[in-house]
Chains A and B, each alone.
Chain A
């Protein structure tokens, strides 16, 4: 599996909607465990809306598209990660972002 960054800019109108999307994402992800693994997401404040940058492992870009279609998640762009430079672990999530973790 390769690692991918998925941009979902301004995908939702509220953190609640994002929370619902996260639940769907988990449910569909469990059905395709061999092809896709959700690693983590960063929730973006985008004016009145909310977006995410997600890190996934997947067997192909098509697996990411299929998962997004099933879970009804927007996809702006899929980018493959070729290397990881880990300097510090992620800081503890801010309380407002917990819904999408």
Chain B
């Protein structure tokens, strides 16, 4: 075994992290670099009991795989699992999770929850992952993105060994450390294998090194290794007794040579790289036979994912069809939709012999799971194939039901015409049958399409039809969905009170049925819909409520976060925009990403910061395929604003013109209003209709003060100041200064003939800065520096610096004297 070289600093960092409180540390590095050795050395040095779990290198891992190792009563949802793990961490506050780059979706969900809740504990969770395998849209990267701003989450990178370290390791073997370092580039596992193989010439690859080492074992041990190599992760002894009874005597030799290690009630390769190397050298026909034997041995008590894996590797179609769909259903129940989709795909690969009906239901289930993970093109294709079968079988109900679900997949692909056709065909088919919940759902889907198109009157009509159908069946879920569609359609038509009333009824029904999806959707529509209508106060209330409701339940709240970012921007709370917006632009959820990018792009444009175009270009690119006013109106308005602030009048007019006719056609008060405004501002508009949103109508009609007042009434300070600035009114200056709206401010100052840039900020008493005053008030209240730091979300050292500056400026020596001085200066009363 390699002794642990060059890891002192990393161990010290882990020690320091542990001392901070509850933390989740992602320990990254390439395969074989020594992540496991590091975390185990840390655990050994800490001298406390350790919880361990490992992810398996299966194409479709078991949901919550690594947590199952803990032997806890987990429950079957991510938050229950996380709660059970947190509970166990109170007793044993160190958990090692290995190879989370292979984690199933359910495990990643549980990690998200853990990451957010660990701060309140004293536990340390170390999760190792291969950093070179989590590129592109790897699901673990999304977890990193979402947890990026979480206090309790850190990342640590394990580097390769240096030349010196390799030389030190090679020396006792009398080997050429320099040559080994050149070949292995310091990969600890590779170095160890070369030294253990002890061959004359250096093996060219890790695989060669492993096989060279294995070849020194006797034939029985070599055969035993082959068996172990086709069992991913860990082979239990009882399993080996069944499938390798003749070679079991060789186990000791394999352990002694260090190729295998004991692991609980079984054995495992010392490293996954070694297992893969040995497995790759097993002849294909033998590998197949071994998988078959393992499958037979596991069958009575095995885990479904393992069974499905060995069934496929054994080429046993019947067994695949027995285990893969069952594994898929279990994964779907645990919200591990990626794994569920992969298991369905596996079943479908072996479904040639199935009857059309069974094949169709596998395809329909596959379509649903792939839709949920965002593989919309695959989902649409699977749906179409399933539809063919249902059509041939004359199963109109299933055909109609599946068609009614298809539009949301098509919309995600920007294939709007096909969405429309599928929705209408679904209605046509289902209306031939006795009315059922499927028809109500099809009506709701049509209402949803009308609402997305902002054909609000039609949205209400279809919503009413759905509501009547739901009433006849006394279908509460259908009723809640229908009320949601009616309410949202009214809201988008600018009928705020009616819209809110219907949506609240939908919410109430959802609550009465304890229906999470309906509650989440009603809150989301209230929040985002009121946001689009510039009803910021209401929008903020419902968006916050949706996030508070959805987050602990692991429902998707990215769209609510994106809209909350916009609401903060329009509400003048600019510092709160970026954390929310940045979290969703990595979500890969298209409409959330677009909305988050708009918030970021507008924020940067209004501040005069760089990065405006990269945000708004991407937002436009993502919006174009759908072609909906809801996105294009928002994006084009943002781009017109950015162009204007950058001094490009023509571009501003062009951006606004691009979607203005659509906004007029749909009579969208706010998009039509803002797009008219930018054209007017650019001198490219003669006349705007009189129905546009009030602040724009007033401003374009020449009533600047009333327009600014209308914006203030809507709690939009920037828009209010911009309106005044458009009329060269210097009353706009203080608000633009407070916001830090540099481009608007510079332009107004220039037009007013004022000198810039910044006036020295108004000095406070005793020359204290605003932040120092803030600290002083808290110190005067008797807070310790650490508490002040906590309260103001600052580093304790920053607060130390502030306090020394305060004492110096107030010419006092103690905090008590500072409090007295503060009182005398009268700064406490102002607050």
A positions within 8 Å CB-CB of B: 4, 9-10, 13, 20, 23-24, 27-28, 30-31, 34, 49, 60-62, 65-66, 69-72, 74-80
Given contacts A61-B610, A70-B798, A74-B758, 6 further A-B contacts (CB under 8 A): A20-B804, A27-B798, A62-B582, A65-B575, A72-B771, A75-B740
Q: Is the CB of B610 within 8 A of A70?
A: no
Q: Is the CB of A65 within 8 A of B578?
A: yes
9 nearest CB pairs, A to B: A62-B578, A27-B797, A80-B610, A61-B609, A72-B771, A27-B795, A27-B798, A24-B798, A24-B801
Q: Is the CB of A70 within 8 A of B793?
A: yes
> Nearest-CB distance from A101 to chain B (Å)?
17
Q: Is the CB of B795 within 8 A of A31?
A: yes
> Nearest-CB distance from A76 to chain B (Å)?
6
- Report the separation of the CA atoms of residues A20 and B768 in the bound assembly, to the nearest whole angstrom: 13
- Report the separation of the CA atoms of residues A77 and B608 in the bound assembly, to the nearest whole angstrom: 7
- Report the separation of the CA atoms of residues A79 and B575 in the bound assembly, to the nearest whole angstrom: 19
Does B742 reach chain A (CB closer than 8 Å)? yes
Pick from A10, A72, A77: contact of B742, CB under 8 Å: A77
Interface residues of B in 535-574 (CB under 8 A from A): none
Q: Is the CB of B575 within 8 A of A69?
A: yes
Pick from A10, A49, A69, A78: contact of B610, CB under 8 Å: A78
Q: Is the CB of B801 within 8 A of A20?
A: yes
Pick from B600, B609, B760, B761: contact of A78, CB under 8 Å: B609
Among A13, A28, A31, A65, which residue has the most Cβ atoms of chain B within 10 A?
Answer: A65
Interface residues of B in 783-830 (CB under 8 A from A): 793-795, 797-798, 801-802, 804-805
Among B148, B793, B795, which residue has the most Cβ atoms of chain A within 10 A?
Answer: B795
A9-B757, A76-B758 given as contacts; is B795 within 8 A of A30 (CB)? Answer: yes
> Nearest-CB distance from B421 to chain A (Å)?
42
> Nearest-CB distance from B716 to chain A (Å)?
21
10 contacts between A and B (CB under 8 A): A23-B801, A24-B798, A27-B798, A30-B795, A62-B578, A65-B607, A70-B793, A75-B740, A76-B758, A77-B742
Which residues of chain B are near A60, meaning CB under 8 Å? 578, 582, 611
Which residues of chain A are near B647, meaning CB under 8 Å? none
A24-B798, A78-B610 given as contacts; is B757 within 8 A of A72 (CB)? Answer: no
Q: What residue of chain B has the Cβ atom nearest to residue A75's Cβ?
A: B740
- Report the separation of the CA atoms of residues A62 and B772 in the bound assembly, to the nearest whole angstrom: 23
Q: What residue of chain B has the Cβ atom nearest to residue A35's Cβ?
A: B148
Q: Is the CB of A70 within 8 A of B582?
A: no
Q: What residue of chain A has the Cβ atom nearest to residue B793's Cβ?
A: A70
> Nearest-CB distance from B804 to chain A (Å)?
8
Q: Is the CB of A24 within 8 A of B802?
A: yes
- Report the separation of the CA atoms of residues A71 and B607 in the bound assembly, to the nearest whole angstrom: 19
- Report the separation of the CA atoms of residues A62 and B769 in the bound assembly, to the nearest whole angstrom: 23
Does B765 reach chain A (CB closer than 8 Å)? no
- Report the separation of the CA atoms of residues A31 and B798 in the bound assembly, to the nearest whole angstrom: 11
Which residues of chain B are near A74, meaning CB under 8 Å? 758, 761
Which residues of chain B are near A79, meaning CB under 8 Å? 610
> Nearest-CB distance from A56 to chain B (Å)?
12
Chain B 582-601 near chain A by CB (<8 Å), digits 1 or 0: 10000000000000000010
